[in-house]
Amino acid sequence: MIAGLMERLRALLFPRRWSSDLDEEMREHLGRETARRIREGLDPEAARREAALAFGGVEKWKEAARDESGARLMGDVSADLRFAVRSLGRNPGFTAAAVGVLAVAIGASTAAFTVVNAVLLRALPYEHPERLVRLFEQNSPTNRWNISTADVQGIRERQRSFDAWGGVSVTEAALSGEGAPEQIVMTRIGAGVFDALGVSAEAGRAVTTADEPAGAPPVVLLSHALATRRFGSPLAALGRSVALDGVTRSVVGVLPTGALDLGGRPAEAWIPLQLAPATRRGPFWMGGIGRLKPGVDLAAARRDLAAVSEGMSGLYADWHDNTARLTPYPLRQTIVGSAEGRLDLFAGAVLLVLLVAIANVATLMLVRASARRPEIAMRITLGATRIRLARLVIAESTVLMAVTVLIAAPLAALGLRFLGSVAPGLPRSAEISLGWESWLFLAAVALSSGALVSLSPVAAVLSSPGRSGMTDTRRAGTTRRAQAVRGTLVAAEFALALPLLLGASLLLNSFLRLTRVDPGFDPSTSLGITIALPSGRYGEVPARQEFFRRALAQARQVPGVLAAGLATEMPPDAGGNDNNFNLVDHPVPAGQSEPTSPWSYVSDGYFEALSIPLVEGRFFTPMDSSAGPPVAVVSLSWQAKYFPGEHALGHELIEGGCYTCPHTTIVGVVGDVKFQGLAGGGDGVYVPLSQSGARTVHLFVKTAAAPAGFVKPMTDALHGLDPDLPLAGEAMSDHLKDALADPGRWTAVLIAFGAAALVLAVMGVFGLLSYVVRQQRREIGVRLALGADPGRVARMVVWRGMRTAGIGIAAGLLLSVMETKWLGSLLYDVTAHDPLTVAVATLVLLAAAVVACLLPGLKAARIRPIEAIAAE
Amino acid sequence: MPDRDLLQGTLDLMVLKALSLEPMHSWGIGQRIDQFSRDVFSVQQGSLYPALQRMLRKGWIRSEWRMSEHHRRARFYHITRTGRAELKERAAGWARASAAVASILRLRTVP
């Protein structure tokens, strides 16, 4: 069998060699036969004749042998392909356009598929991913938050749903010891999380329950990258020690890259989660992760955890919310949830561009097929079968698609890198790479687009009228059906382009509104520097307070500094540091959740540094300390929400559910500042920094000149107090730009897609009309010669194109309705069917279509009758 | 064309039989077939070539270029293991068929 295959391949791959071998063999044969007959007594001439007679027709047998060799079919195919290459080469413009359009579209869709597959489709890279859940406290469908030490105790005592579970909390820590000090992301993690996820160390061991009691030897696990960076290799790191926030810990294990990312910030060090016995119900500072026992579903786990929550009611004096329940959510959903909407939108946009591209290339192919009708008719007359001609068309598409794939593959890799920079914070980004699934996808898309674009030309060949097509060459390609197909394809391009344009316009509209949002502070005159105090030297609260006092004094001495203040939160994305409170005058009904609001601990000088206006009352002063009576400043929006129609000034509130603490008095009302993103509300409560034990704070400074120039002097001034401090500073205007960068990038991507679709659709209608005008040149010439008004001729052509575009745009409007669901969550201050935006997008597309139709229209009007008729 | 199929099958059988004795070139195969059939079974010699190609494709025979006894390049064919199996099967089939035909013909002669 193998031998037979080799034989066939030889005949196929080296057809000339095969043929000359056969010639030689037959010549040899005839020679021997002639010689035999001469030996039998015939004269050479007669011997040769009789030998030839006995052999039969050399050419006939050779052909028969070729048929039997199995090379015939394959040989035809390779001839077809060679013909296709030549014929594509004769039309470099067409070939380049078709290959370019399809390669970009297919490359982009492969990149999009790769991301969507890695992030959304593939299971989480852990054991039993379907059984993994994340635990939250929740008191309404929209309000869920982290779990507390008390929750961990409650779960430990009562849960029956989990095989393994544990708490995890991501923070930052100052890493010192050997090498330069640096600020790294550190995770406190329970041993149960390793069991639940089935993650083990690549060197050494994971965290175990033996590490969890207070007083256990201090240990740490490092990331592969950190171990390599500090110690050369994971194995070399084992047994060494590092200081984290001033605590010396010995390295007992190294985790493989990406093993515990969980969609959050990738950590570089993990320390055991050690919990002191809970004395109150809050604070809620940990993520909970668990693996359900086999056979336990989410609903059962929810009931089980609800029972755990009910069992805890009344245990803690600080907690009055009887509606909060521990609730499990599928881990996958909590990891990819935020990215899902954007990726769906992105993948949808890419798909639309791909479809537009296919429609576009299909029209190109069809126009080409029509232009070749005389040639096809000639071939049919000369005896070529239609099937054979259809095969030529397919061969052409095959060659076209092969070249396209060769270009699309590197484009996909390029697109993936581009996507990495467009969406830097994508969850599971470590898992994104071009794997076999991507290549399979590319092959499938290329195959189906190849089939789609060759559909219409193949049909055109099969339905070709044959002889009549040759005699009537000028009218070639204008059969009704071919025209209808072309018109439909062009209309489809418009229909697909509109949702893209509309999406781009909506995102742009939303983005522009976002850039005009007042963040509530003056970004042009302020800068912010983040100070993370290591817990070693600043382990005690008084030491931190002392440092803050000196830092403020130091900052205010820098020349050009007009005001300086500290705060725990950096607007506009504070990361959701909310606190619950109750109003003494308007308490929430018993058993209901207390309201929450963004909560900032700020020093004196803070409002002045950020130019936040005072509306009523006063700012904080150095006298507002933990020693004095508790005070708070609230924002205008907060006042409007909780004291509608009243003044909040002088009213009292209860902070964080502490009913035994003295009440907090509102001493000031200030302008709104965005803490929940630029698209968020303006709620805010400020309390004095001295009440906080925070170690990470932001120093804000109002400067007399451009703030960027003050980053260096301010950093130097702070390093004068403590040279080892990790500091990060930038002008607030730059910080604001960062906050806008993400929506800006997505907007740019969609605009690029929308523009591509617009160009393709316009190219489509332009190509269609140019072709029609060229085909009907004679007819138009005759009309003009008979006195037709050139303006009317132009209008006729334009009207014809606009009718096609108009039908497409109308269909596109229907298509756009489906888009609403994807876009809604990404838009700010504009709805997905904002009438003005819809009108603008539609008009842009119509205007582009008019321009595209006008050129062929004018060309038709300028046709000179004599030349057009004489050209026949 | 049953005739042609029968012919083709018979030709294949004879080529395989010839090659089962020794490897040889195409002219030699033709000579050997003439010898076998004592010129009863005469075909155009060129018809060997499609047959050889078919059998190459099916893997029954293989070919290689060698120096012939006259020190000229010639293509030699030899039978493969599958070819021998094929020959055995076909020969048995042929024997069965001709025995059956012969017995039928004998029946006819009985009054």
pLDDT in tens, A159-192: 899 999 999 888 878 887 766 677 888 899 999 9
pLDDT for residue A591: 66
Chain A: residue whose CA lies nearest to B65: A21
Higher-scoring residue by pLDDT: A750, A314 = A750
| Closest CA–CA distance from residue A384 to any residue of chain B (Å) | 26
How confident is residue A264, by pLDDT bands cut at 50, 70 and 90? low
Given a cut of 70, whether residue A673 has pLDDT beyond it is yes
- Closest CB to B62: pick one of A3, A8, A24: A3
Please give the mean pLDDT across all residues of chain A. 84
Contact across the interface for B44 and A68, Cβ inside 8 Å: no
- The residues near A299 (Cβ < 8 Å, ≥ 6 apart) are none
- The residues near A434 (Cβ < 8 Å, ≥ 6 apart) are A110, A114, A412, A413, A416
Contact across the interface for B57 and A29, Cβ inside 8 Å: no
For A660, what's the count of Cα atoms within 13 Å in the CB-facing half-sphere?
A: 5
How many helices and strands (H and E) does chain B possess? 4, 3
pLDDT for residue A477: 44
pLDDT for residue A464: 61
The label of the residue with tokens 């576009």 reads A360
Q: Check CB contact of B73 with chain A, cutoff 8 Å.
A: yes
Residue type at A711? V
Chain A: residue whose CA lies nearest to B49: A65
The residue among A68, A73, A74 with the most chain B CBs within 10 A of its CB, best to mutate, is A68
Given a cut of 80, whether residue A232 has pLDDT beyond it is yes
Name every chain A residue with its beta carbon within 8 A of the beta carbon of B25: 25, 28-29
What would the pLDDT profile of A602-656 be if each residue is shown by its tens digit?
Answer: 999 999 999 999 999 999 988 887 778 899 999 999 999 999 988 999 999 988 7
Question: Is residue A519 reached through a cis peptide bond, with omega within 30 degrees of 0 on the bond before it?
Answer: no
Q: Check CB contact of A795 with chain B, cutoff 8 Å.
A: no
Q: How many residues does chain A have?
A: 872
Annotate A423-441 with three-state secondary structure.
CCCCCCHHHCCCCHHHHHH
What would the pLDDT profile of A89-140 be if each residue is shown by its tens digit?
Answer: 888 888 888 899 899 899 988 988 888 888 777 778 888 888 999 998 887 7
- Closest CB to A56: pick one of B47, B59, B82: B47
- What is the mean pLDDT of the segment spanning A69-78? 66
How confident is residue A753, by pLDDT bands cut at 50, 70 and 90? confident
Q: Check CB contact of A67 with chain B, cutoff 8 Å.
A: yes
The answer to whether the beta carbons of residues A535 and A245 sit under 8 Å apart is yes
pLDDT for residue A638: 94
Name every chain B residue with its beta carbon within 8 A of the beta carbon of A8: 57
How confident is residue A473, by pLDDT bands cut at 50, 70 and 90? very low
- Closest CB to A69: pick one of B25, B53, B74: B53
pLDDT above 90 coverage of chain A, percent: 23
Q: Check CB contact of B53 with chain A, cutoff 8 Å.
A: yes
pLDDT for residue B85: 92
Given a cut of 80, whether residue A559 has pLDDT beyond it is yes
pLDDT < 50: residue spans in chain B = 1-3, 111
**What token pair was written down for A820?**
């609403």
Name every chain A residue with its beta carbon within 8 A of the beta carbon of B58: 4
| Closest CA–CA distance from residue B97 to any residue of chain A (Å) | 27
The residue among A12, A18, A29, A37 with the most chain B CBs within 10 A of its CB, best to mutate, is A29
Contact across the interface for B53 and A60, Cβ inside 8 Å: no
Q: What's the first-to-final CA gap in chain B, in angstroms?
A: 34
Residue A344, exposed/middle/buried by CB under 10 A (0-12, 13-18, 19+)?
middle
| Closest CA–CA distance from residue B20 to any residue of chain A (Å) | 18
- What is the mean pLDDT of the segment spanning A36-58? 89
The answer to whether the beta carbons of residues B29 and B47 sit under 8 Å apart is no
pLDDT for residue B109: 54
Higher-scoring residue by pLDDT: A550, A589 = A550
pLDDT for residue A350: 87
Contact across the interface for A55 and B80, Cβ inside 8 Å: no
The answer to whether the beta carbons of residues A605 and A553 sit under 8 Å apart is no
pLDDT for residue A688: 92
Contact across the interface for B27 and A22, Cβ inside 8 Å: no
Positions of E strands within A417-533: 526-532
The label of the residue with tokens 């005009």 reads A516
How confident is residue A441, by pLDDT bands cut at 50, 70 and 90? very high
Cα A849 from Cα A836, distance rounded (Å): 20
Residue type at A394? I
List the one residue out of A29, A28, A769 whose CA is nearest residue A367.
A769
DSSP for A84-148, please give it.
HHHHHHT-HHHHHHHHHHHHHHHHHHHHHHHHHIIIIISPPSSSSGGGEEEEEEEEETTEEE-EE
pLDDT for residue A471: 47
pLDDT for residue A3: 61
Pairing state of beta strands A182-189 and A132-140? unpaired
Range in A302-311, A377-386, A771-780, A857-866 the model is least confident about: A377-386
How confident is residue A377, by pLDDT bands cut at 50, 70 and 90? confident
- Quick one: chain A helix, strand, coil %, rounded to 5? 55, 15, 30
How confident is residue A442, by pLDDT bands cut at 50, 70 and 90? very high
Q: Check CB contact of A64 with chain B, cutoff 8 Å.
A: yes
- Closest CB to A33: pick one of B27, B54, B56: B27
pLDDT for residue A474: 45
The answer to whether the beta carbons of residues A321 and A280 sit under 8 Å apart is no
For A611: left if phi > 0, alpha if psi spans -120 to 50, otherwise beta; the answer is left
Contact across the interface for A60 and B46, Cβ inside 8 Å: yes
| Closest CA–CA distance from residue B65 to any residue of chain A (Å) | 9
